[in-house]
Structure 1
Amino acid sequence: MQLRSALRSARSRVATWLPLRRVVKICAVIAVLGFTVLVASDLWIRMAHRKYEYSVESAPSADVAIVLGAEVKANGKPSGYLKARLDLGRQLLEAGKVKALLLTGDNGRSTYDEPTAMRAYLIEQGVPAAKIALDYAGFSTHESCVRAHDIFGVTSAIAVTQDFSLPRTIALCRAAGIDTVAVGDDTMPHTMVYRQNWLREQLADTKAVYSILLHPEPTFRGAQESSVRDAMAADPQP
């Protein structure tokens, strides 16, 4: 009787252990596949689109500079990262590389407004208001690129953001139908920030590949606007 009991107990332990081992194997396979997708997405984004990166001086001419939004402080002033982007946009306009600026950012709530803060800063720097168009529904890089093409009619652009985000921005805007090159800011102390947010960057590149393949709709589409065309045609003098 004791032997039978021991055998039953052993069989029960084996029956419990086998499914657990199977679950562990499945989780390991999923983890490896997930890591592979993250790395492959990042490599493709960066290797395939780095050739479209330029400086202000070397960038080819385009119709518009698309300046991507970033943090605006509680006092309504652009953060250092956003100022650096805006300064590049201003330099591109002053150098005659673009005919207008499209400022795209988050205005998803009444108490937070990136595009308006971006415009105010540029006007303070001497940029004519008439040369600026605003997109208040640029809630992500994908949405900014899609709306620039579909809503504002942009077909040729220089995208402006921080340098480590350039390949992803280029990939998304080109996938949206815009002939895009990009200029990136490298003046801000972001090296350590990037290292600390390595996983975030990998996930962002994977999300970009998802957006490129599946073309999700932007949060707000709306009617087509002529503000970019108007800004391009406006008198460049303040």
Structure 2
Amino acid sequence: MKQWIAGRLKIWLKAAVILGILGMAAVMAVNIFMMLRVKDRIVKPGDPALSQKADCIMILGCGVKKDGSPTGMLKDRLDEGIRLYQQGVSDRLLMSGDHGRKDYDEVNRMKEYALERGVPSEAVFMDHAGFSTYESMYRARDIFQVKQIVVVTQKYHMYRALYVASAMGLEAYGVASDPRPYGGQLYRDIRELLARPKDLLYTLFKPEPAYLGEVIPVSGNGDATNDR
């Protein structure tokens, strides 16, 4: 009996190891596929790909501090997005982030940051329900009626953002914002390895985001998205 149990355990252990290896191989394959698919769409400011004015520059939220100020990563995204706006890449900014609770608000702070740097309020739209990269792109297309978009985020995240945008039918380019190293990057890189397969599945099945709502074309007035 003991020999039979030991034999079974050995078989299960081998099966678990094989499944683990196959799972890791699948994750890596998806990551490589996604990165190769969109790598040519990550461009530098001034690239000819940005010469045709986009419907908007989307700045993806990534956290605010307890005092409401943007984290270092978010500040760098905002600075890059505002520079692109000033260079005429688009005359609209779309701030997409998490405002799912009264006590946590990324998008109003992002808009305030842009206004403090001279961007007019009507040029800044807020997506209060951009809870994930997938939801941000889905809502950009369906709520804000975006067709051509320039995405601003850090490079490690840009591959997934551009892949999702393209899968949602958007003509998308990205300008990476990485002027300095960031603490905790290893954790974010590992998390991103797992997030890419998840969003690949989302783009295949296209579930609706948590919230949709009324259409607010990005060609209109950004103050339509104000909530205070």
CA contact (8 A) 2:96 2:107 kept: yes
Shift of 1:166: 1.0
* Percentage identity across paired residues of the two chains: 33
Deviation at 1:13, TM superposition (A): 1.7
Q: 1-side partners of 2:16 and 2:125: how far apart?
A: 49
> Which position in structure 1 is the counterpart of 2:37?
48
Whole-Å separation in 2 of the counterparts to 1:195 and 1:188: 15
Q: CA deviation at 1:165?
A: 1.1
Work out the CA distance in 2 between the residues paired with 1:96 and 1:164.
Answer: 25
SS of residue matched to 2:14: helix
* Alpha-carbon distance in structure 2 between the residues aligned to 1:221 and 1:156: 20
> Is residue 56–residue 91 contact of structure 1 (8 Å, CA) maintained in 2?
no
Q: 2:97 matched to 1:108?
A: no
Contact 2:55 2:219 in 1 (8 A): no
Query: 1:129 aligned to 2:129?
Result: no
8 Å CA contact 2:156, 2:189 repeated in 1: no
Unpaired segments of 5 or more residues in structure 2?
Answer: 223-228
1:79 aligns with 2:71: yes
What's the TM-score once normalised by structure 2's chain length?
A: 0.91
Deviation at 1:127, TM superposition (A): 0.8
* Matching of residue 206 in structure 1 with residue 213 in structure 2: no
Query: In 2, distance between residues paired with 1:165 and 1:217?
Result: 22
Deviation at 1:231, TM superposition (A): 3.9
Equivalent residue number for residue 219 of structure 2: 229
- Structure number, greater radius of gyration: 1
What is the root-mean-square deviation of aligned Cα atoms in Å? Answer: 1.5
Matches within 5 A, 1:25-104: 25-58=14-47, 59-60=49-50, 61=52, 62-104=54-96
TM-score normalised by L of structure 1: 0.87
Aligned AA for 1:170? L
SS at match of 2:135: helix
Q: Is the 8 A contact 1:56 1:88 kept in 2?
A: no
The change in CA–CA distance for 1:99 and 1:113 in structure 2 (over 3 A counts) is same
112-121 or 76-85, larger mean C-alpha shift: 76-85
When the two structures are aligned, how many residues end up with a matched partner?
A: 219
Shift in Å, 1:196: 4.2
User: Pick from 219, 224, 229: which aligns with 2:210?
Assistant: 219
Aligned residue among 149, 153, 174 for 1:182: 174
